[in-house]
Amino acid sequence: MTIIAFVCTSCSKSTSPVTPTPTPTISSLTLVDVAHMRDNKQVISFRFFINVSPASAKDIKVNYATSDGTAIGGADYTAVSGTLTIPATKTVGYVDVNVTADSLRQPDQAFYLTLSSPVNATISGTGKATGTITNSGTYYPSDSEGYYSPSTYPGYTLKWSDEFNDAAVNTNVWNYDIGGSGWGNNELEYYTNSTNNAYLSNGKLVIEARKETIGTNNYTSARLNTSGKQAFQYGRIDIRAKIPVSHGMWPALWMLGSNIGTSPWPACGETDIMELIGSSPNRVVGSIHWAQANGSSGTVNNAYFLSTGDFSQQFHVFSLIWRMNYIQIIVDGLPYMTANNTSISSGTWPFNATFFFIFNVAVGGDWPGPPDSSTIFPQRMYVDYVRVFQ
């Protein structure tokens, strides 16, 4: 028998696993949105960051270009385009875009930065970021159409006025009430001292109610008063103003007795030269309030209706004639509410003492109710002047 032996030369050696060559990881570029408040006086830079993950062993190049949204290149920002190089091992790059200065208060504006044609990287998502310009300047143009009151009256001398022609609210005259406690009326706003809510523009005081959240309050506004700084007893008062009339708005031009610290409301007395609730846009109400013998509030008031249009369409003059034991409230020279000390059958007439001013725009509250879907914010009250003649 012939035996043939086969020798396997490969079988006598152990087999080792083959390690595959790793595939290089490609870096991903993520572009980040930017939002800033516009400056009133100088150009500011919006910096768009580009995050790199993971870092690349090679330089990365990527093209970029801006495009218009509601913000317009050349007017609101400086349009840019080019190629950005992010050096190897770096995990971030950026592109700066200059935004022009502007003091105009207007809705937020947007423009875009887009990435394209990356080298040694990929682009995450759309590669498009938004630059949001917040325009909270203190210039807001308004017309001056409407009724003007005389600058002089026979038998009267101008005692004091604020024509609102300064650069900012005069804090030697006006205080800011601060807070969001409801102010005794279940109001919904938080009153601030921010120029978001009260500022001077084009010779007018603007009180602006906004839909924004502070704490548990979903609206902000302003309430200015002259307590401890300007108080008056008797005379003629003229206030020229244009009033917001949307649902849930409650603008008011009014006065409280200077002794409120020792004689709490209603004992101090309250004179409402003008109140309006947004559900009645063509009606204002003039009132006095005092403490009746049982401590509750007594009221004498009346309403004035425009024959056409509403109080937001042009300026009107809201006036008070105030003498000892006598009050008369007027719109555009037309008296519509008169009261005297004999109008009070219970309690004491408190209106022979000094009173200070309060100007405010409340949002919501027991009387107007809350805003609804028809209410567009911001809402603004414009005051052209307040004048006291004696």
Q: Give the distance, in angstroms, between the CA of residue 190 and the centroid of all CA atoms in the same chain.
A: 11
Neighbours of 125 (CB within 10 A): 11
In three-state secondary structure terms, 383 is strand
Do residues 17 and 72 make contact, with C-beta atoms less than 8 angstroms apart? no
* Catalytic option among 187, 189, 208, 275: 275
Nearest to 86 by CA among 123, 120, 111, 131: 120
Query: What are residue 107's phi and psi, to 5 degrees?
Result: -60, 155
* Catalytic option among 187, 189, 208, 270: 270
In order, the DSSP letters of 84-105 are EEE-TT--EEEEEEEE----BB
* 293: its two tokens: 């013998």
Catalytic status, residue 270: yes
Separation between Cα atoms, residue 161 and residue 141, nearest integer Å: 22
Q: Omega of the bond prior to 378 within 30 degrees of 0, cis?
A: yes
Query: What are residue 376's phi and psi, to 5 degrees?
Result: -105, 125
- Adjacency order of strands within the sheet including 121-123: 92-99, 44-53, 27-31, 121-123
Q: Scanning the structure block, which residue is given the tokens 């902000």?
A: 220
Separation between Cα atoms, residue 134 and residue 104, nearest integer Å: 11
Catalytic status, residue 275: yes
**Residue 179: Cβ-neighbour burial (10 angstroms; 0-12, 13-18, 19+):** middle
Separation between Cα atoms, residue 382 and residue 251, nearest integer Å: 10
Known catalytic residues?
270, 275
